[in-house]
Structures are given as structure tokens and as C-alpha cells.
């Protein structure tokens, strides 16, 4: 505790803490255990958090309620805030028939979303794994050039080069296809970086041992590198699956046929055009619930990897 005694040391504290240079004994503070007893502040703490949770959950609650009542009940302003008895018929109608101006059934859009999210997530992980492996474990001409080529893509989100990318995809005849929906989103510098960082921490002794045993690079990749990368792969999968499922701008412009609509696009088409009165809000809301379900399930049940993935990909 004597860190805080002399003024000079006090002034240096933030730096020391930031760079993790404090002696072990100081860093090992007890995390749990209140510093002091303040019952009023405790109460405020929980009230603020509960308020936050309720306000954040409110839109989804209203969506859920709207998806369990009839179209007329939704239009009765204000609608009731208690769930109605039409849950199954609304969801069945949305899944089988769709809603509003978009006649594509929601199950089909959900399938499209699932297929493209899986292709994007798995494709990204696969091509990033092998390219990071090549960059870390080989010395070859143009290695640095390739590395920077991949790096630069970090700087160009699809939103800013949307028209020319569309033109390329249309020239390649990939409009209205899974390839068109997914391929332009598969290249990712973030994933390559993440794996590169991770590979650099693998001890050299392992590669050495593999070489002495006569294992080639591919054998080493499959038997050592890939198994060791399991947690990184899981973390990245969660993030990329959500990213793929929630894509909007790209599917919006490369799909013109309803057969290839993803569910996120489907919702937009259901409320667009045709005027206010024709929107079947109870079915739109059922579709919204269905669209939120898979990524929410992934976040909640794979929370540990989700948090890891989020933090890792931002480094």
C-alpha cells in the first residue's frame, strides 16, 4: 500500500498500472469484498442496472407481444402490452407464407441466412488459417507484400466501395447466388491477423520437433497448429456467424429474386412500399423474432467465446 505515500510515486502510478509494471503484491488486490459499506449506493447500483436491463429489453418485449396478437389488435393504438394467444398461428403463417409485399416464406429466408452465415464464417476462418500459416511459417519472396496487401483490406468496408464491387460481382454473373452473397465478404484481414498473432506465440520447439520427426509443413499444420487454434477458431466463428447472419447492404443489392432473400432483407421488404395500412405488423414482428433468435442463441450460449472473439478481433 506504500505506493500511494510519496507524491512522486503517486504521479507515476497510471503509467505503471497501464504497462503492468506494478509489483505483484500490489496488483493482487482482492476483487471481491466491498471497500466500504454503503447500503444506499448498493440500492442505487441495482436500481440503475435493473432499469438498464428493462429499457434495453423493452423493444424486444413489445416485438414479442406484437407477434402473439392479431393484425387488428396491433392497430388498436396503443396495443396491449400483454401477450395474446396467437403465437403459433402467427409464426406458422410467417414461416410458411411470409408477409406483406414479400411473398417468400420465412423458412426459406432463414435457410438462406443460415447457409450464407455458415459459408462466410467457415470460409473466412479457413482461408485466414492457411494464409496466416504461410506468412508465419515460411520465408518466401513477396511475403511482406502479400501481408500488406491483406492488411490494407481492413481499411475498405464494403459500404464505401459498394457500386464497383456490385459491378464486379455482376460481371462475374454471381448476382442471385450464394457465391455472390458470400464471396466478397469472406476476405478478412482481421481473422488473418488474429491467427498470425496466435501462431507467433506457438513455441518454436514444436515446429523443430516436427521437422526432426520428418513431418512436413502440412502435417504440422493439421496435427499441431489447427488443434492448438481451437479456442481462437471458436471465438472467431461466433463473431463471424453473427456478422454473416446480420448482413444487410450487400444482400440487399445482390439479390433481386425472392429465392435468395436473407431474413434480414425479407423484413425490410415486408415493410417497404405498399403504404402504411398494408403492413402486416404481427407477421413482420414474428419474422423479426425469428431473425433475432439464432444470433442471440449463439451469443448467450457461447458467451465466453463471444466475449473473447470480440476482444481479440479488435486488437
Residue 118 lies near other proteins (rule: CB under 8 A): no
Cell numbers found for residue 98: 411470409
Q: Which of residues 219-238 bind other proteins (CB under 8 A)?
A: 220
CB atoms within 10 A of CB 19: 8
Q: Please work out the total of residues on this chain that contact other proteins, with binding judged by CB under 8 A.
A: 121
Q: CB–CB of 286/69 below 8 Å?
A: no
CB atoms within 10 A of CB 28: 9
CB atoms within 10 A of CB 234: 16
Nearest Cα neighbor of 253 from 176, 153, 161 is 176
Q: C-beta of 141: minimal distance to other proteins in Å? A: 9
13 contacts: CB under 8 Å, gap ≥ 6: 3, 4
- Cis peptide bond N-terminal to 296, omega within 30: no
Residue 192 lies near other proteins (rule: CB under 8 A): yes
Among 6, 12, 27, 222, binds other proteins (CB under 8 A): 27
Residue 217 lies near other proteins (rule: CB under 8 A): yes
CB atoms within 10 A of CB 160: 9
* Distance in angstroms (rounded) separating the CA atoms of residues 241 and 246: 8
CB atoms within 10 A of CB 3: 15
**Residue 223 gets which letter from DSSP?**
I
Q: C-beta of 182: minimal distance to other proteins in Å? A: 10
Q: C-beta of 97: minimal distance to other proteins in Å? A: 19
Residue 40 lies near other proteins (rule: CB under 8 A): no
Q: C-beta of 223: minimal distance to other proteins in Å? A: 14
* Distance in angstroms (rounded) separating the CA atoms of residues 35 and 110: 50
Residue 106 lies near other proteins (rule: CB under 8 A): no
Q: How many residues does the chain have?
A: 315
Q: Which of residues 265-304 bind other proteins (CB under 8 A)?
A: 265, 267-268, 271, 276, 281, 284-285, 288, 291-292, 295-296, 298-300, 303
Residue 17 lies near other proteins (rule: CB under 8 A): yes
Q: Which of residues 151-180 bind other proteins (CB under 8 A)?
A: 152-157, 159-165, 167-169, 172
Among 99, 109, 150, 233, binds other proteins (CB under 8 A): 150
Q: Which of residues 71-90 bind other proteins (CB under 8 A)?
A: 74-75, 77-79, 81
Q: C-beta of 139: minimal distance to other proteins in Å? A: 6
Residue 138 lies near other proteins (rule: CB under 8 A): yes
Q: Whose Cβ is closer to other proteins: residue 105's or residue 288's?
A: 288
Amino acid at each position: 500500500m506504500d505506493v500511494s505515500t510519496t507524491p512522486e510515486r503517486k504521479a507515476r502510478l497510471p503509467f505503471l498500472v497501464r504497462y503492468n509494471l506494478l509489483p505483484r503484491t500490489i496488483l493482487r488486490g482482492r476483487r471481491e469484498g466491498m471497500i466500504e459499506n454503503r447500503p444506499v449506493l448498493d440500492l442505487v447500483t441495482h436500481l440503475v442496472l435493473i432499469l438498464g436491463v428493462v429499457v434495453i429489453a423493452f423493444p424486444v418485449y413489445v416485438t414479442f407481444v406484437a407477434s402473439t396478437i392479431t393484425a387488428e389488435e396491433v392497430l388498436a393504438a396503443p396495443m396491449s402490452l400483454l401477450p395474446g394467444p396467437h403465437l403459433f398461428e402467427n409464426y406458422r403463417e410467417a414461416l410458411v407464407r411470409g408477409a406483406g409485399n414479400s411473398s417468400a416464406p420465412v423458412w426459406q429466408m432463414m435457410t438462406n441466412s443460415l447457409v450464407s452465415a455458415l459459408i462466410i464464417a467457415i470460409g473466412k476462418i479457413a482461408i485466414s488459417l492457411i494464409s496466416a500459416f504461410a506468412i508465419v511459417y515460411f520465408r518466401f519472396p513477396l511475403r511482406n507484400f502479400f501481408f500488406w496487401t491483406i492488411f490494407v483490406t481492413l481499411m475498405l468496408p464494403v459500404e464505401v466501395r459498394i457500386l464497383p464491387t456490385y459491378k464486379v460481382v455482376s460481371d462475374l454473373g454471381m448476382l442471385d447466388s450464394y457465391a455472390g452473397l458470400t464471396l466478397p465478404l469472406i476476405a478478412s484481414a482481421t481473422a488473418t491477423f488474429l491467427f498470425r498473432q496466435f501462431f507467433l506465440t506457438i513455441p518454436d520447439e514444436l515446429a523443430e520437433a516436427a521437422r526432426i520427426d520428418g513431418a512436413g509443413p502440412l502435417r504440422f499444420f493439421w496435427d499441431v497448429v489447427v488443434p492448438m487454434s481451437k479456442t481462437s477458431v471458436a471465438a472467431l466463428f461466433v463473431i463471424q456467424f453473427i456478422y454473416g447472419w446480420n448482413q444487410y447492404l450487400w444482400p440487399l443489392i445482390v439479390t433481386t429474386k425472392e429465392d435468395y432473400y436473407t431474413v434480414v432483407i425479407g423484413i425490410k421488404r415486408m415493410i417497404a412500399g405498399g403504404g402504411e395500412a398494408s403492413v402486416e405488423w404481427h407477421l413482420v414482428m414474428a419474422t423479426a423474432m425469428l431473425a433475432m433468435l439464432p444470433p442471440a442463441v449463439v451469443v448467450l450460449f457461447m458467451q465466453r467465446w463471444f466475449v473473447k472473439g470480440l476482444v481479440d478481433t479488435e486488437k
